[in-house]
Each structure stands twice: as C-alpha cells, then as structure tokens.
Amino acid sequence: MKKKLAALSICSALSFSLLVGVQPYKAKAAPELEHYVVAYKGKLPSNFSERIEKSGGKVERIIEEVGIVEVASADPTFLTNVKKDSNIQTAGRELEAYLETDPDTKVNFTPGTPNGQKVTLDANADSYWDKQWDMHRLTNDGKSYDLNDGNKDTVVAVIDTGIDFSHPDLKANADEAGSKTFVPGTTDAWDKNGHGTHVAGSIAANGKVKGVGPDLTVRAYRVFGATGGAQQSWITDAIVAAANDGVEVINMSIGGWRWMAHNLEEKGDSASMVAYHRAVQYAIQKGVTVVVSSGNDSRDLNNLHDMQAYWKTTYGLDIKGPSRVVPAQIPGVITVSSSNQWSTGNIAFYSNYGNAIDVAGPGGDNGPLYDSLYRQDPAGDFLNKRDFTYRTLSTYPTYEVGGGNNATTQFSDGKWHGYSYLHGTSMAAPKVAGVAGVIKAAHPEYNPAQVAAAIRQSAIDFGKVGVDPLYGSGEANIFNFLSKDKK
C-alpha cells in the first residue's frame, strides 16, 4: 500500500510541474551522421582503419589505388582528431556532385515549337536519322561510318545514371555484364533516371538513332540514383574501377559541387578535389581518355569575380578564394562546351566557357528565337518560345523512370517510345567521347594526349579564328579526323 501511495505522490509532482510551466525532459537528438573524404599522403598505412575508428569514424569505402577513404562519423570532433594523423594530406566533409540536367528550370511541358506545333515521333518509322542534325554534322552526313564506326573491343565508360540495357538501339553495344553500380543500396547499373541512356546513345546507338561510333561498346558505371546527387567517393571509385577495367574512354556528363575553392581546408586543399585529381590522373596514366562537360551555368570559368557573384546570387555561397568548376577544370581532362545547330559564332546560351574549353560538341539549344530573347534578359520567362527540334535526339529508357528534373516529366505524353530531345553540355560531352572512342578504335596505340591532340586538330574552327574561349579548338568532327588519317 505504501508503494502505491509513493507512486501516486510522484505522479502528482509531475502534474504540478507541468502546471507551473516546467517543461518535461527531452532527450537530445542524436548527432547527425556526416560523410568525409580522407586523402592519405601515399599508400594507406596498415593500421589506417583502426586509427580512423579511434578518431571517431567508421570506414565506408576504400579506394586504395589513390589513397582515398570515405568515412562516416557522428562525432563533431572527428575532423580535428583525424587530421592529427601525419599520414593524412587532407580530410574534409564529402561533397556531392550533381547531374548536368536540363538547363530550363520549368520542366512540366509538352515539347513543341513557338508556332504551337507539337513535336512527336512516329513509332512506326524505321529511322529517326533525319532528325539527328548533330550526328549529320559530326559524321559528315554519315560518311564517317564508312571509314570507321568503332569496334566492340573499344569501350567507352559512361559514369552516370546507368543504361537501359534492353533498349533496341543499345542492347547490342551495351555491356551489362561488365557494368557496375557505386550507389549504396543498389545492385545493378540499370538506368532509373534517363540521363545515362541518352548519353550512351550519343556515343554508340545503332538503330533508329545512331551514335558517333555505332560499333563501339558502352559500359555503365552508375554513380547516380533515380534522383539526387552522387558523393565524391562514389565518382572517384567509378573512375578508378573503369581505369582498372581497361576502358579506352571515360565520359562524365557531371556537374561539380556548383563551386570549388582552393582554400576550403586549412592546408589549402579540398579533400574531394584531391580525390578527383588523383582519380583522373590515375585513369590517364592507365591510358584512359577522360571527357567531361563544361557545365550549364552560362559562366566564364576563368573570371573569378563573375563566378563569385554568380555563386552568391544563385546559391547564397560566399566564396572568398579562387573558384573552380569540377570536373571541367581538372587538369588532363577534355572539357567540352556546347555548340548549337544554327550558329557557328556563338555557343549554346547555357554553356560555360573560358580557357578550360578544349573543344565544343553539338549539345543543342532552344533555337535562335529563344536564344536572342534569353541573351537580352536571362531572367525572363520565354518557355513558350522554345523550339525542341534544335535539341538533340537520342535514346531514352523504354520503361518508366525517375521523376524530378528529367525527360520523363517533360515527355509524358506517351509519344516517345524510348527516345527524347534533350540539350545541355551533358549532351555535348558524349559526342566528343564518341569521337575519342572511334579515334582509339582506329589507333589503339594512341595515348590520352595523342587522342586529345587528334580531336583538337580535326575540329571545325567555329568562332574566332584559332583557339577561342567559346569553342576551344572548334567543334569536334570525326569525319575530319578519319578522312585525313586515311591519306
């Protein structure tokens, strides 16, 4: 009986406390789990895992070839602790990359032209070749196919969202068995977004639409899920794995972290930037040509003040040091801006430019009317002035995918049957990767520097005479290379 009375007294006391405004005890929220990139100075020490655990972290991913480790930790002192290890060059929070998706911000629409015409495809047509202005230009109306259209032994790695291996235009050339995923929680490299399949088609489609090298092999190294970004260690891992697998070319139609500054860390190096540098150099040393998109920000990559103002206005980021876009400004890559169908004097309205540009690739745009309006007022709403026929047509998953800012939401009228019109530097880069693949098929002995030189020397000189910040050496052209090479 006394025990019951005691319990009642305790309950009464709690009730009184609530009445007088004393808040009940609330458990503290568990510290948020963060992911970090740790870059060692050389080879990984034999006891690196134990030392990371003592610092408050757990090893999530090891990329031994380049001395990079991904670590998860909920300990707010982890970075301070781990940096005490003299074997470590730098460590920092892991940064997330993003896809270079459609440059337009509003995506729920039916594709058409400014006069109200709806753009559709005839599912019963044997070919859509007449709609591929980009391939006509790259191949001189298909004449390059008669000279060299690649071979099955030449592999282009597509580090992206995956590939639709069942697509009728890709299934003969897409290497599902050799493909890999680096996205935690996934078990295959099938495309759940659409972006990677469009990229792969630009390289090696062989059906209703054609790629630059219809006999090349494409292999998926999946680093993106259906939506969302990709952690830096996933991309680093994919680059190293592709190099180890012996691919000839890597295509990365990937944006950076919207920004990158050299002074992010105390030692002057961002850990994620170090990881990217090391992975790219590792691939190049293995003989892999790495092709990347320049980005869809309409920015001069070499203008520090322009970039700083842009980051501040667009993302609220106050960058105090030299900013860089990655992978576009990583040494050793072939950086591609986006050209369009109707102009040889100006690149696509969305394309980044600057001294980092090596060449342009036809990535398409919304046509000359939209371009003129956009350049007069970049903040204006001219969506009804777009002409989708100026974009680039390529393969798209034959099944429902993703959502968000991708072509499924754009082309939801059921008329597309595994194809879509997209534009962006994401569409420009794989054209150049395809050119690189065919060059390697013709000259397997070429190293990455020789492939890059061949691409630049055979480019069509658009823009100002010679190398310029918009087109670099010009627009890539595989027919030019093959016709000269044959002589």
Asked if residue 115 has pLDDT above 50, the reply is yes
Asked if residue 78 has pLDDT above 50, the reply is yes
Percentage of residues in the chain having pLDDT higher than 70: 82
Q: Which residue has the higher pLDDT, 61 or 113?
A: 61
Q: Tell me: the pLDDT tens digits for 446-458?
A: 999 999 999 999 9
Q: Tell me: the pLDDT tens digits for 168-223?
A: 999 999 999 999 999 999 999 999 989 999 999 999 999 999 999 999 999 999 99
Residue 227: exposure state from Cβ atoms within 10 A (0-12, 13-18, ≥19): middle
Q: Which residues pair with 62 in a beta bridge?
A: 69
Question: What token pair was written down for 105?
Answer: 């911000």
Residue 415: exposure state from Cβ atoms within 10 A (0-12, 13-18, ≥19): middle
pLDDT of the residue at 259: 47
- 89-93, 302-306, 312-316, 337-341 — which one is most confidently predicted on average? 337-341
Asked if residue 27 has pLDDT above 70, the reply is no
- Would you kindly state where each structural domain of the chain is located, as residue ranges? 34-94, 129-485
Q: Where residue 321 falls among pLDDT bands split at 50, 70, 90?
A: low
Question: What token pair was written down for 308?
Answer: 């700083």
pTM: 0.90
> H-type helices in 255-387, by residue range?
271-285, 304-315, 368-376
Taking domain 129-485, whether its CATH number is 3.40.50.200 is answered by yes
Q: Tell me: the pLDDT tens digits for 368-427?
A: 999 999 999 988 989 889 999 999 999 999 988 865 444 444 443 445 679 999 999 999
Q: Where residue 312 falls among pLDDT bands split at 50, 70, 90?
A: confident
pLDDT of the residue at 387: 93
| Average pLDDT value over all residues in the chain | 86
Strand order through the sheet with 217-222: 180-181, 217-222, 155-160, 249-252, 289-293, 334-339, 359-362
H or E stretch covering 51 = helix 48-54
Q: Which residues pair with 361 in a beta bridge?
A: 338
Compute how many other C-beta atoms are within 10 angstroms of the C-beta atom of residue 127: 11
Asked if residue 484 has pLDDT above 80, the reply is yes
Asked if residue 282 has pLDDT above 70, the reply is yes
pLDDT of the residue at 32: 85
pLDDT of the residue at 202: 98
Looking at the structure, give the CATH architecture of the domain made up of residues 34-94: 2-Layer Sandwich (3.30)
Average pLDDT of 131-136? 98
| Gap between the Cα atoms of 304 and 294, Å rounded | 16
pLDDT of the residue at 19: 29
Q: Tell me: the pLDDT tens digits for 338-355?
A: 999 999 999 999 999 999
Average pLDDT of 478-486? 94
Dihedral over Cα of 116, 119, 124, 128: its sign: positive
pLDDT of the residue at 5: 31
3-state SS record for 392-439: EEEECCCCCCCCCCCHHHHCCCCCCCCEEEECCHHHHHHHHHHHHHHH
Question: What token pair was written down for 449?
Answer: 């520097």
By 3-state DSSP, what share of the chain in percent is helix, strand and coil, each rounded to 5?
A: 30, 20, 50
pLDDT of the residue at 172: 98
Give ∠ CA 356-106-365 in degrees, rounded to 5: 45
Average pLDDT of 33-59? 96
